[in-house]
Amino acid sequence: MTAYPTVKMLIGAEWVESGGDGSMAVFNPATEKEIGRAPKVSKEQLDAALAAAGEAFPVWSKTPAIERFRILRKAADLLRERTETIARVMTLEMGKPHAQAVGETAGAADLIDFLAEEAKRQGGRLVPVRSHNLLEQRVTQEPVGPAVLFTPWNFPINLPAKKIAGALAAGCTAILKPAETTPATAQMLAECFVDAGLPSGVLNIVYGDPAMISEHLITAQITRKVSFTGSTAVGKQLGALAAQGLKRFTSELGGHAPVVIGESADFERTVAACAATKFRNAGQVCVSPTRFLVARGIYDKFVAEFAARSQKLKIGDASVDDSVDMGPLAHKGRLEAMQQLVASMEADEGEIVSGGKALEGPGHFFTPTIIAGPSLKSQFMTEEPFGPVAGIVPYDTIEEAVEIANSLRYGLSAYAFTSSLDESHYLGNSLRAGMVAINHFAVGSPETPFGGVGDSGFGSESGVEGYLGYTETKLVTVAKSAP
């Protein structure tokens, strides 16, 4: 088993092992045992990180794009070299199966690669002039300034990587506050950037009390950009703080993804994809398919096959067994939330076809759960479950399916499976979400924007949008010195 590293903060040029506010325990969710401790940052240490980011910004923002590119590309290469070790630590911290942890780490390296390339590509544009007296009009993208980055525990290397790479590629400096339950994974990512030659102060990393850290960093005068991934409730609070200082704010918040399954869909391929994707990372995925809206003609067959496939998944401690399909929920709070959710469904419409209970013994394990015919007004169908629970509802017309899919304020991702070209176009145009995938579930790639609408946030990461989100638009127009 991979040893758990000593967790340290990065403040300026120093790796700091002692927190000004003490330390906090880190647990393995599969065993509920303490595996290490992380330092808790104090306000004084936050001020030191802010000062470091502020001092480094004038130099880093003027560093030639090709130099920023080279450092980020080297960091991506180091991440690939260290994939196995980082993946093992990730599994220890949050229970993700090994193959998924490896895939996430490799994907994070690809994200860094793409955003590094954007540093070379985004040179601005020339705008044709309207007057003979004008020599030139050019539009450039300038780095917005020091950025504060907040990431959750469910993708502890992918999410920090896309924020860090976007900020650094654009010429911003950054302070990363990862989830307190997964500090070592984020630290090992930061080490790749430092070992790649990143100058001191360009990237800082701190851990500790989320409320204190977020308020202190967001309200600091030095901070010019805030990027947050997490719950809708917290996103609204942080957005309000950022707005008070007129600071740029990107938020990727909750989701409750619908999946519209037409009668013409390739049944075997569709149900296999749905079962595999729903329970990836124990359903702790913001774009996880959750509300399955199935044409009535194939509804019963789909419920039976989905439940049968879910029952075959191997559940266990992924830190000791690489063949595990689904690990534990990340912490006790998530387990309690699943238990409460299922209890609420039992008193409402809907049948628990499979699962619906916690496993006995240590660890935060919850069985893959299938609910047939849940009420559209139930807690499950209106609030993001963020766990291994799927609801399946029949529909009679495609218009009815779209109406159900669009009935919530969430709008992060939506999916559909159909062999009809007409339905494909209709669903792509009609489903209200920042990302819509037809006949597959892959909405996240380095080249494409990742973000939602409504209560799922605003702004995008990844793609060119992930670079531009850390910039401000500047117009320079030049006239002749004499008529």
DSSP state of 21: T
Q: What is the pLDDT of residue 1?
A: 58
pLDDT in tens, 274-328: 999 999 999 999 999 999 999 999 999 999 999 999 999 999 999 999 999 999 9
Chain centroid, CA 450 distance in Å:
9
Q: What is the mean pLDDT of residues 404-415?
A: 97
Q: Which one of the listed residues 93, 117, 191, 252 is annotated catalytic?
A: 252
Amino acid type, 253: L
Of 277, 311, 38, the closest CA to residue 153 belongs to 38
Going across the sheet that includes 389-395, the strands are 351-354, 369-372, 389-395, 289-295, 257-261, 413-417, 435-438
Q: Which one of the listed residues 192, 286, 305, 423 is annotated catalytic?
A: 286
How many residues are recorded in the chain? 483
350 pLDDT band (50/70/90 cuts)? confident
Return the percent helix, strand and coil in the chain, to nearest 5: 40, 20, 35
Q: What is the pLDDT of residue 256?
A: 97
- For the question of residue 172 being annotated catalytic, the response is no
Q: What is the mean pLDDT of residues 240-266?
A: 96
Q: What is the pLDDT of residue 347?
A: 65
Residue that has been written with the tokens 């990340």 in this structure: 330
**Comparison of pLDDT for 140 and 483, the residue scoring more:** 140
User: What is the CATH superfamily name and number for domain 257-445?
Assistant: Aldehyde Dehydrogenase; Chain A, domain 2 (3.40.309.10)
DSSP state of 199: P
The pairs formed by 426-431 with CB atoms below 8 angstroms and a separation of 24 or more are 426/398, 426/402, 427/260, 427/398, 427/402, 430/402, 430/406, 431/258, 431/260, 431/402, 431/405, 431/406
Kindly report the average pLDDT of the chain as a whole number. 96
Q: What is the pLDDT of residue 141?
A: 95
Q: What is the pLDDT of residue 366?
A: 97
Q: Tell me the torsion sign for CA atoms 52, 55, 59, 60.
A: positive
pLDDT in tens, 378-409: 999 999 999 999 999 999 999 999 999 999 99
Q: What is the mean pLDDT of residues 184-191?
A: 98
Residue 348 has pLDDT above 70, yes or no: no
- Kindly list the domain boundaries of the chain, sorted by start residue: 9-253+456-475, 257-445
Q: How many CA atoms lie within 13 A of 273 on its CB side?
A: 19
Amino acid type, 334: R
Q: What is the pLDDT of residue 345?
A: 77
pLDDT in tens, 427-451: 999 999 999 999 999 998 999 999 9
Tell me which H or E stretch contains 141: strand 134-143
Q: What is the mean pLDDT of residues 211-225?
A: 98
- For the question of residue 252 being annotated catalytic, the response is yes
Q: What is the mean pLDDT of residues 61-72?
A: 97
Name the fold adopted by 9-253+456-475.
Aldehyde Dehydrogenase; Chain A, domain 1 (3.40.605)
29-44 burial string, b = 16+ CB within 10 Å, else e?
bbbeeebbbbbbbbee
Per-position DSSP letters for 242-294, written without gaps between them? HHHTT-EEEEE----EEEEE-TTS-HHHHHHHHHHHHTGGGG--TT-EEEEEE
194 pLDDT band (50/70/90 cuts)? very high
344 pLDDT band (50/70/90 cuts)? confident
Question: What are the beta bridge partners of residue 147?
Answer: 174, 225
Cβ–Cβ < 8 Å for 183, 176: no
Question: What are the beta bridge partners of residue 293?
Answer: 260, 393
pLDDT in tens, 198-217: 999 999 999 999 999 999 99
Chain centroid, CA 317 distance in Å:
23
- Cα–Cα distance for residue pair 267/227, rounded to 1 Å: 39
